């Protein structure tokens, strides 16, 4: 198998075969997060029919996996659901900054985190996603109203993920503050922050670019139901 040319060309594969291998379930060259951490699954850069068959072995019949790279359509038997186009952005001029109000979130905070995810729907977040690390939150009136954290960690990089704010508290700059605060933890390790966003989320992309992220490449999020 040929290596990827850059860790961000196939970031999940690079992460789960490296730093985050402890969070992985793998069958040969098909690899995914453990089911209660996330639905994302990675294949080699140019997957073969055998690679797709191996991906099917990683999940029960009928379950949905999400493929980020490659963006090619799965073979016959997989049911592709609502594929979405997106972008990959990398920090170039971002100014990381710890935030005094951003408190670390742990497993004890998961019920609140799941409630916020349900209200804001930033993307997949499951009961053990918090174990990927770096999660910070802001509370108002004792309630978690905004959060952000880390997901994929390919060599030299870390993805900022699950950036979300309760609708009632939008417009207060929480997303920007939390993005900078999570980035501060990433850069302190000597890594570079990056993130993904769906193309239709133009407001978020505008914010990230204003913070100092730059477009690196287009991507596709491909949710597909495993063949029965």
pLDDT tens-place string over residues 152-174: 999 999 999 999 999 999 999 99
Q: Which residues pair with 217 in a beta bridge?
A: 88
Give me the architecture of the 88-218 domain, per CATH: 3-Layer(aba) Sandwich (3.40)
Q: Which two tokens stand for residue 171?
A: 């417009």
3-state DSSP assignment of residue 140: strand
Which position has the token pair 């060309």? 9
**Cβ neighbour number for residue 190 with a 10 Å cutoff:** 7
- The pTM (predicted TM-score) of the whole model is 0.94
DSSP assignment, residue 147? E
Q: Which two tokens stand for residue 58?
A: 């990683």
Q: Determine what percent of the chain is predicted with pLDDT higher than 90.
A: 86
> What are 114-156's pLDDT values in tens digits?
999 999 999 899 999 999 999 999 999 999 999 999 999 999 9
pLDDT of residue 1: 44
Interior CA angle at 56 toward 55 and 57, to 5°? Answer: 90
Contacts of 81 (CB under 8 A, 6+ apart): 64, 223, 224, 225
- Taken as a whole, the chain contains a residue count of 228
> What are 177-188's pLDDT values in tens digits?
999 999 999 999
Q: Where in the chain is the domain with CATH 3.40.630.30?
A: 88-218
**Angle, helices 174-188/202-211, rounded to nearest 10 degrees:** 50
């Amino acid at each position: 198998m040929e290596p990827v040319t850059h860790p961000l060309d196939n970031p999940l594969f690079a992460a789960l075969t490296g730093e985050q291998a402890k969070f992985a379930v793998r069958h040969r060259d098909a690899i995914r997060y453990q089911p209660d951490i996330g639905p994302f699954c990675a294949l080699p850069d140019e997957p073969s029919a055998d690679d797709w068959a191996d991906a099917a072995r990683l999940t029960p019949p009928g379950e949905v996996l999400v493929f980020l790279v490659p963006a090619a359509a799965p073979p016959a038997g997989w049911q592709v659901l609502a594929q979405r186009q997106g972008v990959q952005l990398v920090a170039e001029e971002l100014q990381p900054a710890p935030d005094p109000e951003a408190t670390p979130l742990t497993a004890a905070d998961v019920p609140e985190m799941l409630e916020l995810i349900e209200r804001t729907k930033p993307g997949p977040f499951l009961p053990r996603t918090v174990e990927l690390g770096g999660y910070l939150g802001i509370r108002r009136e004792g309630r978690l109203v905004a959060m952000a954290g880390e997901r994929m960690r390919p060599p030299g990089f870390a993805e900022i993920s699950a950036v979300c704010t309760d609708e009632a508290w939008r417009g207060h700059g929480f997303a920007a503050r939390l993005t900078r605060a999570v980035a501060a933890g990433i850069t302190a390790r000597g890594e570079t922050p990056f993130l993904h966003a769906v193309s239709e989320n133009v407001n978020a992309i505008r914010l990230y670019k204003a913070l100092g992220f730059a477009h690196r490449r287009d991507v596709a999020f491909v949710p597909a139901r495993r063949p029965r």
